[in-house]
Homo-oligomer: A and B are copies of this chain.
């Protein structure tokens, strides 16, 4: 069995933000490459959620526990990261951090991570430091570690803003596949620049 990456999606999650990562994990980095991971979709209560694009997505598991053998956790951005159900994801992230499992958060999920203290000791980025202050208040103490970059990876945590789907994917893949540096860069350049030059 392939190692599983847990993809956390809430209602009104952003369709594009983890789409490149999940497909690269499952399908590989270039034609003929083999995917090295499986994706498992987690929702807070195990029920289906609807994306911002109107896609109704079924859950593979609820947030009662981090699955055994989980090799990574990815929090997909969207409009529900300040909702009560998002609170159910806090122990999942805590458990992943304790087990040294890579955690990724993009867009509003970075604000969620900030507001729960998960970015206080790692360099990070996200949807502006001002928004992190607003969401987190006194609970966010990582301000000095905020960097104005598309994506940042530090201490097993990958963060990115909502326009950084490709850079987020690149950083997370580097964490999981450190020997594939060249292939990851090739993958990134293909999607960043496009197949045709105009």
Chain A residues in the interface with B (C-beta under 8 A) = 7, 14-16, 18-23, 25-27, 38-41, 48, 51-58, 60, 125, 148-150, 161-165, 167, 190-191, 193-196, 198
Contacts and interface: CB of A to CB of B under 8 A. Distances in A.
14 contacts: A7-B53, A14-B23, A16-B16, A16-B20, A21-B53, A22-B52, A26-B54, A27-B52, A39-B55, A58-B58, A125-B196, A161-B196, A163-B193, A163-B194
A41 B55 contact: yes
A148 B148 CA distance: 36
B41 A23 contact: no
Nearest to A58: B56
A195 B41 CA distance: 28
Given A23-B53, A161-B196, 13 more contacts: A14-B23, A22-B53, A22-B55, A25-B53, A38-B54, A55-B57, A56-B60, A150-B194, A161-B195, A163-B190, A163-B191, A164-B194, A164-B195
A9 B125 CA distance: 34
A58 B198 CA distance: 35
A24 to B, nearest CB: 9
A30 to B, nearest CB: 12
B14 A16 contact: no
A45 to B, nearest CB: 16
